[in-house]
Amino acid sequence: MNIVTELFVVTFKIIWSFLLAGARWFIPPREKCVEGQVCVITGAGSGLGRLFALEFARRRATLVLWDINRQNNEETAEMVREIYRETGSLDRVQELSLFQPKVYTYVCDVSKRESVYSTAEKVRNEVGNIDLLINNAGVVSGRHLLECPDELIERTMMVNCHAHFWTAKAFLPKMLELNHGHIVTVASSLGLFTTAGVEDYCASKFGAIGFHESLSHELKAADKDGIKMTLVCPFLVDTGMFKGCKIRKEMAPLFPPLKPEYCVKQAMRAILTDQPMICTPRVMYMVTFMKTVLPFDAIVTMYRFIGADKCMYPFLAQRKESTNNNESKTGI
């Protein structure tokens, strides 16, 4: 095929992809069934990780929950078991399924690759091959760059970014062998654009998104179309992680913090329809696009108008006060 013909083919495929994307607005694709599939969720002990676990439990997936906090992880597992009991009773009444899903819990510090690799080996031995990997674990230091200890910066990078490398290296080989699986990266809108005062967090999320996109291209280059990738980029979620973050009061109603349940439901719809990327709310797509086309000074002007330039400062001040209070109590 000569280059001119190939150019026409490529142009047609690009236009066709736009048409298919538009069609999803009017004809929502069917959600795939994950009943009986094995789903690993990192950071499952609280926040979005716990909500992801409950959503997959309602769809009767076998859940493998990872968290550094054993108690919180067990609490999530008990919620999952309760859902299993409820859905199991309903299935027996309706004679829909004889499959009985299970939940497994593991204490794992995803910032340490040895912990990830050893825990993954336990999962393979005790549970079997996995079908879905939800890289959800995340932390924030809550310190200005020059006030942040190096150890906290390193931990933010390790948990929010490096851990994705370790989990992928642990589970991807079998997915490649079977040409089957789904990897989900729970990132953030702060991995698409930035604000002041959270340099380490933004850098870690930019890194996670870069890793996700590069791995997506690698799978396409290897013709491994059976392995799906979904990138989740929510706006600030009301989980308490960024408590105190504020923008200009007149603009606040337009950009409220997302309810965690809404965020996870939107993400689940994207995952179950093999959508490559989901930004919540949709205005985040526009913000990201504007960042790529506007001059930097124009972006700064917009930030200052919205109040986004220093929106993290109240959050950082609260964190600092809380840290000082804890240190005072420890000193007493």
Which class for 183: exposed (0-12), middle (13-18), buried (19 or more C-beta within 10 A)?
Answer: buried
Q: Give all strands (DSSP E) within 92-198, no chain letters.
A: 103-107, 132-135, 181-186
Which residue, among 155, 160, 219, 153, has the nearest Cα to 185 in the 3D structure? 160
User: Taking the mean position of all CA atoms in its chain, how far away is CA 315?
Assistant: 22
Question: CA 221 from chain center: how many Å?
Answer: 24
Q: Could you please state the CATH topology (level 3) that the domain comprising 31-323 is classified under.
A: Rossmann fold (3.40.50)
Please state the domain extents for the chain: 31-323
Using the structure block, give the residue that is written with the tokens 């609280």: 46
- Residue 234, strand partner residues: 280
**128: phi > 0 → left, psi -120 to 50 → alpha, else beta; which?**
left
Show the tokens assigned to 52.
């992801």
Whole-angstrom distance, CA of residue 247 vs CA of residue 198: 15
Q: Which residues contact 80 (CB under 8 A, 6 or more apart)?
A: 53, 54, 57, 63, 65, 103
Contact 204, 224 (CB under 8 A): no
Cα distances (angstroms) measured from residue 19 to each of 13, 39, 279: 10, 32, 20
- The half-sphere exposure of 134 on its side-chain side, counting CA atoms within 13 A, is 31
Cα 29 from chain centre: 21
- Confirm whether 84 is a catalytic residue: no
Residue 202: which residues within 8 A CB-CB, separation 6 or more? 190, 191, 194, 195
Q: What pLDDT, on the 0 to 100 scale, is given for residue 92?
A: 52
| Residues contacting residue 137 through CB under 8 Å, at least 6 positions apart | 42, 43, 49, 66, 67, 110, 159, 160, 163
Beta strands in 95-226 (DSSP E): 103-107, 132-135, 181-186
42 Cβ contact list (under 8 Å, min separation 6): 49, 66, 67, 108, 110, 134, 135, 136, 137, 163, 167
Q: 201, 285, 303, 313: which one is catalytic?
A: 201
pLDDT tens per residue across all 332 residues of the chain? 688 788 888 888 888 888 887 777 788 889 999 999 999 999 999 999 999 999 999 999 999 999 999 999 999 999 999 999 988 755 554 555 556 889 999 999 999 999 999 999 999 999 999 999 999 999 999 999 999 999 999 999 999 999 999 999 999 999 999 999 999 999 999 999 989 999 999 999 999 999 999 999 999 999 999 999 999 999 989 888 888 888 888 888 888 889 999 999 999 999 999 999 999 988 888 888 888 898 999 989 988 988 888 889 988 998 888 776 654 444 44
Query: What local confidence, expressed as pLDDT, does residue 274 receive?
Result: 96
Closest CA to 264 of 114, 134, 104: 134
Give the other-Cβ count within 10 Å of 289's Cβ: 11
Q: Confirm if 130 and 88 have CB atoms less than 8 A apart.
A: no
What is the pLDDT, as a whole number, of residue 309? 87
The predicted-structure confidence for 138-183, as pLDDT tens digits, reads as follows 999 999 999 999 999 999 999 999 999 999 999 999 999 999 999 9
Sheet containing strand 38-42, strands side by side: 103-107, 62-67, 38-42, 132-135, 181-186, 227-234, 277-280
**224-234 per-position pLDDT tens digit:** 999 999 999 99
The pLDDT, as a whole number, for residue 91 is 55
Assign 3-state DSSP to the chain and report helix, strand, coil percentages, each to 5.
55, 10, 30
Tell me what pLDDT residue 176 has.
98
